[in-house]
Structure 1
Amino acid sequence: MDTQLHAIAEYWNDAAPAFDREPDHGMAAASTRRAWERRLAGWLPGGPLDVLDAGCGTGSVSLLLAAAGHRVTGVDLAAGMVERARTKLAGAGRPARFLAGDAARPPVGAERFDAVLCRHLLWTLPDPEAALRHWVTLLRPGGRLVLIEGRWREAGAESEPYTPGAGALPWAGGVRADELADAVGPLVSELQLEPLSADAELWGGPVTDERYAVLATV
């Protein structure tokens, strides 16, 4: 692991114990869980599907996917996040596989998936466009890319980078919907944008920044 990735992994390892305190991370409120369940059901209809949760964190989205009957593989750079995800799903009695590794190039070998999903991950990556290109190769024909992203209100030049040098990351602080759509469009056959900022239940309360999903089919 190079120096930058090591620093990023250490940051998220340190953040893991408190990560689920955020309403949309831990999904402790039933209304927040239901809001995400509804969205995921619309984005990934049918099934069960083989789903790769790239940058799975503590596994809250993985848990919802597994509860819906999908076969879930979660990948996260931070071993502390992976361990919490394993514990969370085991405690809920839901099967899933979790791997510690770079979510930009998941350690899944020749395995292919019906869907690759990531939530609030791209801004943390040293080369997010390379990650998008690689994720598309992990999809079976007709597979779906689900990217839940945004441009965070608190982001800006005055914000303190979360790791040394992180302010220079290509999409530090998030990425606009039009910019992400431009990056994904040439890689896929179909693409749509779904605004999410107005759905306060997803976030545990109102938000004023840009949040959305890019839904793409290869």
Structure 2
Amino acid sequence: MTAQDRINAYWTGRAPSYDAYVQRPERFAADQRAWSEVWSRALPRGPLDVLDVGTGTGQAAMVLAGLGHRVTGIDLSEGMLERARRHAAEMANGPVIRRGDAVDPDFPPASFDAVTSRYVMWTLRDPDVAVANWVRLLRPGGTVAVVDSTWFPKGLDNASENFADFYDDQVQAVLPLATASSIDATAAVLERAGLTDVTVTPLTTIYELDRRFGVAPNHEHQMQFVVTGRI
């Protein structure tokens, strides 16, 4: 298995429990409101053509579509894609969900007004190559907006997640942001890709929701950020 094969297999196995956590009824409405605000502030007024890379179960893609954007979500995990397609089918004007590589999306240049991701940068192989490819897909004035945090600054081997069978040394060797100790490392990737006005914004509303409802199993309560840049 390649490193990416192992990552795909891990997230396919995680898909049912991950989706159940995202969809839990006691927090769902509050999450929708909060994430709608996050993406509304991160992106220009639409409707836009948006590519959501590493879409997972489609949480961000669904919120973006709910804001009126024309959204395509791509992922390589078949388990995640199955969940995302199910949710998209239940929504009028929902996102288009297709198999695709976040590092090398297979679209013509200048296909989108924005490229987004949520919780992808840390588990992204070759992030510099990936973001350079995203920039190629943007139209003039386009935006990259990524949400992430510094999830594992002490290393994946010390994480409480059950990574051992999939995030082995081979995988960790190609994930330069997995153990970053500062979100500035993610911002630097956007800057190296030639994006301008790179901005890091703490997501205080999400932090407060995590405080109120609790965080995902095996996670700590910590600040998340949206990092944006424009061409």
TM-score, structure 2 as length reference: 0.83
For residue 113 of structure 1, what is the aligned residue in structure 2? Answer: 112
Q: Does 1:192 align with 2:199?
A: yes
What is the identity percentage for the equivalent residue pairs of Structure 1 and Structure 2? 36
For the 8 Å contact 1:195–1:212, the answer to whether it is kept is: yes
Counterparts in 2 of 1:209 and 1:14: CA distance versus 1, 3 Å: same
Q: 4+ residue stretches of structure 1 with deviation over 6 A?
A: none
Take 2:184 and 2:199, find their aligned partners in 1: how far apart are those partners?
11
Counterparts in 2 of 1:116 and 1:202: CA distance versus 1, 3 Å: farther
Answer with 101-110 or 155-164: which moved more: 155-164
Counterparts in 2 of 1:111 and 1:26: CA distance versus 1, 3 Å: farther
For the 8 Å contact 1:153–1:208, the answer to whether it is kept is: no
For residue 11 of structure 1, what is the aligned residue in structure 2? Answer: 10
Aligned residues: 215
Take 1:126 and 1:175, find their aligned partners in 2: how far apart are those partners?
17
For residue 176 of structure 1, what is the aligned residue in structure 2? Answer: 182
Counterparts in 2 of 1:69 and 1:129: CA distance versus 1, 3 Å: same
Shift of 1:182: 2.0
Q: Where do 1:94-133 residues align within 5 Å? A: 94-110=93-109, 112-133=111-132
Q: Does 1:216 align with 2:229?
A: yes
TM-score, structure 1 as length reference: 0.88
Q: Secondary structure at the match of 2:141?
A: strand
Answer with 159-168 or 6-15: which moved more: 159-168
Take 2:3 and 2:99, find their aligned partners in 1: how far apart are those partners?
16
Shift of 1:209: 2.8
Answer with 12-21 or 142-151: which moved more: 12-21
Take 2:226 and 2:63, find their aligned partners in 1: how far apart are those partners?
17
Take 1:175 and 1:102, find their aligned partners in 2: how far apart are those partners?
26
Answer with 201-210 or 10-19: which moved more: 201-210
For the 8 Å contact 1:78–1:101, the answer to whether it is kept is: no
Give ranges in structure 2 of 5+ residues lacking alignment: none
Take 1:185 and 1:26, find their aligned partners in 2: how far apart are those partners?
34
Shift of 1:111: 5.5
Q: What root-mean-square deviation, in Å, do the aligned CA atoms of Structure 1 and Structure 2 show? A: 2.3
Answer with 135-144 or 187-196: which moved more: 187-196
